[in-house]
Amino acid sequence: MPTISLRGNEMPASPIRKLAPLSDAAKERGIKVYHLNIGQPDLPTPKEGLDAMRNIDRTILEYSPSDGYRSLREKLTTYYKKFNINLTPEDIIVTTGGSEAVLFAFLSCLNPGDEIIVPEPAYANYMAFAISAGAKIHTVATTIQEGFSLPKVEKFEELINEKTKGILICNPNNPTGYLYTRKEMNQIRDLVKKYDLFLFSDEVYREFIYTGSPYISACHLEGIENNVVLIDSVSKRYSECGIRIGALITKNKEVRDAVMKFCQARLSPPLIGQIIAEASIDAPQDYLRDTYDEYVERRKCLIDGLNKIPGVYSPIPMGAFYTVASLPVDDSDIFCAWCLSDFDYEGETVFMAPASGFYTTPGSGRNEVRIAYVLKKEDLTRALFVLQKALEVYPGRTNK
Amino acid sequence: MPTISLRGNEMPASPIRKLAPLSDAAKERGIKVYHLNIGQPDLPTPKEGLDAMRNIDRTILEYSPSDGYRSLREKLTTYYKKFNINLTPEDIIVTTGGSEAVLFAFLSCLNPGDEIIVPEPAYANYMAFAISAGAKIHTVATTIQEGFSLPKVEKFEELINEKTKGILICNPNNPTGYLYTRKEMNQIRDLVKKYDLFLFSDEVYREFIYTGSPYISACHLEGIENNVVLIDSVSKRYSECGIRIGALITKNKEVRDAVMKFCQARLSPPLIGQIIAEASIDAPQDYLRDTYDEYVERRKCLIDGLNKIPGVYSPIPMGAFYTVASLPVDDSDIFCAWCLSDFDYEGETVFMAPASGFYTTPGSGRNEVRIAYVLKKEDLTRALFVLQKALEVYPGRTNK
């Protein structure tokens, strides 16, 4: 039997996936599991998107252009204009989800062995795409004590060497919910400029910013227009993760030309998804406001509730729909598994993502979990109660 | 400005894409262009698939499982059974088109620097996916004189070294339409076994076999079950290239586990496409027979027509919907461009794919073109007439 690639062995197994069989088993035992582990919004897809899908009157579902339909890219420019991001349709390449945008950004910009710097905790799949491209991720630590704010510039500079080709940020952040301030974004801009790096900026959660703080996009930063590669997706903002429509956006023509070669190789992004995404942009303001208001309430409910549980601490996330909280436990990997395999309170339990999977530094985030607030408020309230009960009886509880 | 990756520079530009602007310009001049260059079927998508899409009554278009819906994978097993390929749903991983299946196969099985052997001419994008994975493709030449039959085993063995990890075949073949015989498939099996290689077998055209010859799938070969990675797609057989649904199929659990990590990183294949694909499998026999009958007629029309043009020769393709023909021209790259930029006959011209893009050996296929028969018979007949006229006046015509 031939041997598989080292890459296959190096690919991290998702911490959530590892626990999924335990969750399934709990359900089979009749236990209700509150899913605080996933980023799948439970809110409806815009009616405009669903209607567009149902009204497709094509007889052939054929290839679309490799960079996506021009009509979608044109409509996206009007969407971005609302955020003071000025683009032409040529700046936008439609991808198969934000995932493909990250992969193609890495394949196009990074040589095998090249390095990028990412503040951690970070979205676990960045690592997977870096491995796919043969690139290396170095992380700078952010901490729950400092609310996951940007590490000092010197921490980045310590890691920069001749192999360093870029910085990757996720803003607002998955998993922490942190939103970079104008000052922090300017620091990133200066670093990028000083060392002539790429700035890969994943901004798929821009609709979900809950404080009065301004959203500073990488595209707002002056003087590094040719360094910025924006990663985007319609998945979260229109609750249509399944259609797999994202975008890679850059003013750098050389990068676009390289990305297009990877796009042409895979022929085209999904046709039906593009039609749905284009129509979803027409969703009325009410849709986005209702969605937003719902998350505002859930966020308050979750963060207030978490901080009331003895020994639990969550900073107040400014955006996205996640928070990273610290728990009074020895090891959140063990605790999260125990919740699913050994615990229930009145037939109910919680499924959380151990934060270790979002760190590359061994031991980091050992007592932290990522909690997504993609459940109704009543369910969140109940889940918090069940979590409190779990912490009361968990054998590995630490005294805090 | 940071520099892009070498990979970006190495990626081959599609020969068809290079000519597309000339085709657009011709159309702008009011010239009718017969598209013999693309593999986009013009036949309708099954009504069952379109109806399923229009009847989706979900309110949230959410992520699907990373390996695709089980119901689709189950239905695919019944489809494959008709071809005497016995699979369980676990053997099948749903991918975003056949393209992603090729990429994930390479990423999972090949280390950077590893080599695979591919008979050429070959589908140009295999090269792109190999570059993405940092792997190297070595080609063994097949020739129009020998009807593109499998090269002698010794030709493969000359290329096999400690870096060689696999053989890739496309059967029935794009671009040549060649169908490997049982004897040839057994030779491939013996090679794979002797050197313990992966056999990547792209069989997306299995519905389109026009001779009485049997379809021998890589999955039919005994003794190499753990070496075979089948690449498949619903695109061509149901004329639904735009939905981006393919599959990677293997009995090798270690490969599947590695592939699943790449699948999990990109979260899920397109949701709507899976629903359409699953329903399309229910298309009545009439649908596939009508499609088949149509291609049988077009094939006869095209090949007879080509071989009647002085100096033109096409072998009789046994499958798919392409042929590679030789023309009495100095350089088919120049000729195909000239047809679009300098020629028309009564306001019409033809767009063909120069065969050079399907070869890696410099100079190979210089007087060959790939012609797809995805046009109605009347259009094919007219296109052949226009081609004949073009050859009569082309300045670079060779005396043949």
Contact state of B132 with A107 under an 8 Å Cβ cutoff: yes
A232 DSSP β-pair partners: A247
Q: Whose structure tokens read 């609310």?
A: A147
- Measured in angstroms, the CA of A308 and the nearest CA of chain B are apart by 33
Contact state of A60 with B43 under an 8 Å Cβ cutoff: yes
Q: Is residue B118 predicted with pLDDT exceeding 80?
A: yes
Tell me the C-alpha distance between A46 and A255, whole Å: 33
Q: Is residue B70 predicted with pLDDT exceeding 90?
A: yes
> Residue B42 — very low, low, confident or very high, per pLDDT cuts 50/70/90?
confident
Tell me the C-alpha distance between A348 and A350, whole Å: 7
pLDDT tens digits, B163-185 = 999 999 999 999 999 999 999 99
pLDDT tens digits, A77-135 = 999 999 999 999 999 999 999 999 999 999 999 999 999 999 999 999 999 999 999 99
Phi-psi sector, A238: left (phi>0), alpha (psi -120 to 50), beta: alpha
Q: How many CB atoms lie within 10 A of CB A78?
A: 10
**CB nearest B243 (choices: A49, A54, A270):** A270
pLDDT tens digits, B352-400 = 999 999 999 899 999 999 999 999 999 999 999 999 999 999 999 996 5
Residues of chain A with C-beta less than 8 angstroms from the C-beta of B227:
1-2
Contact state of B272 with A240 under an 8 Å Cβ cutoff: no
Contact state of B45 with A64 under an 8 Å Cβ cutoff: no
Task: Indicate the range of A2-11, A250-259, A352-361, B77-86 predicted with least confidence.
Answer: A2-11
Does domain B58-280 fall under CATH 3.40.640.10? My reply is yes
Q: Are B355 and B142 in contact (CB under 8 A)?
A: no
Residues of chain A with C-beta less than 8 angstroms from the C-beta of B65:
none
Residues of chain B with C-beta less than 8 angstroms from the C-beta of A227:
1-2
In the prediction, which pLDDT does B14 show? 74
Where do the structural domains in chain B lie, given as residue ranges?
A: 6-44+286-393, 58-280
> CB-side exposure of B260: number of CA atoms within 13 Å?
17
Contact state of A53 with B50 under an 8 Å Cβ cutoff: no
Q: Is residue A17 predicted with pLDDT exceeding 90?
A: no
DSSP letter string, B209-276? B-SS-----GGG-TT-TTTEEEEEESTTTTT-GGG--EEEE-S-HHHHHHHHHHHHHT----HHHHHH
Residue in A with minimal Cα distance to B255? A4
Exposed, middle or buried, A395 (CB in 10 Å: 0-12/13-18/19+)? exposed
In the prediction, which pLDDT does A1 show? 84
Contact state of A100 with B2 under an 8 Å Cβ cutoff: no
Relative to beta strand A368-372, strand A136-141 is unpaired
**CB nearest A261 (choices: B11, B58, B272):** B11
Mean pLDDT of chain B: 95
Q: What is the DSSP letter of A90?
A: G
Tell me the C-alpha distance between B325 and B144, whole Å: 8
Cβ pairs A/B, distance under 8 A: 252
Q: Does the N-terminal peptide bond of residue B175 adopt cis geometry, omega within 30 degrees of 0?
A: yes
Mean pLDDT value across residues A137-158? 96
Cα Rg of chain A (Å, integer):
21
**CB nearest A265 (choices: B2, B129, B255):** B129
Q: Are B128 and B358 in contact (CB under 8 A)?
A: no
Q: Is residue A176 predicted with pLDDT exceeding 80?
A: yes
Q: Whose structure tokens read 């889940």?
A: A383
- Measured in angstroms, the CA of A300 and the nearest CA of chain B are apart by 24
- ipTM of predicted assembly, 2 dp: 0.95
What are the b/e assignments for A7-20, b being 16+ CB within 10 Å? bbeebbebbbeebe
Residue in B with minimal Cα distance to A100? B266
Relative to beta strand B368-372, strand B353-354 is antiparallel
* Confidence (pTM): 0.96
Exposed, middle or buried, B341 (CB in 10 Å: 0-12/13-18/19+)? middle
**CB nearest A261 (choices: B13, B43, B114):** B13
Task: Indicate the range of A8-17, B109-118, B223-232 predicted with least confidence.
Answer: A8-17
Q: Are B263 and B66 in contact (CB under 8 A)?
A: yes
**CB nearest B196 (choices: A2, A63, A226):** A2
Mean pLDDT value across residues A330-358? 96
Tell me the C-alpha distance between A81 and B17, whole Å: 31
Tokens, residue A31: 């236990």
For B389-393, the CB contacts below 8 A with 24+ separation are B389/B345, B390/B335, B390/B338, B390/B339, B390/B343, B390/B345, B390/B349, B390/B350, B391/B309, B391/B310, B391/B311, B391/B312, B391/B327, B391/B328, B391/B329, B393/B343
Residues of chain B with C-beta less than 8 angstroms from the C-beta of A50:
56, 58-59, 61
Tell me the CATH architecture of domain B6-44+286-393.
Alpha-Beta Complex (3.90)
Contact state of B99 with A134 under an 8 Å Cβ cutoff: no
In the prediction, which pLDDT does A400 show? 52
Contact state of A268 with B241 under an 8 Å Cβ cutoff: yes
In the prediction, which pLDDT does B400 show? 52
- What residues have CB less than 8 Å from B308, skipping those under 6 apart? none
